[in-house]
Amino acid sequence: MLCCMSATRTQIYLTAEQRTRIDEVVRAEGVTLAEVVRRALDAYLDRELVVSEAVLASTFGADPDATYPDRDEWDRG
């Protein structure tokens, strides 16, 4: 995965429990620690995007009494 993308080296601090759990995934899946962290970060960021979109979508039509200008008012004719 890393071969085809630009990357920035970043250092982070993990708790002992986080490191142990990541090491378990590394052994089980046969991938690097960096790959596990990248996957987790991607999953988190994708989830945040989905949550934001869901919140925005849930507000559509939230005010049924709202009035909107007639589109004819936009004509500059």
Residue pLDDT tens, the chain, 77 long: 556 678 899 999 999 999 999 999 999 999 999 999 999 999 988 887 767 777 777 777 677 777 777 777 777 76
Structure confidence at residue 37 (pLDDT) = 97
Structure tokens at 74: 């936009």
pTM of the predicted model, to two decimals?
Answer: 0.57
Nearest to 22 by CA among 14, 9, 10: 14
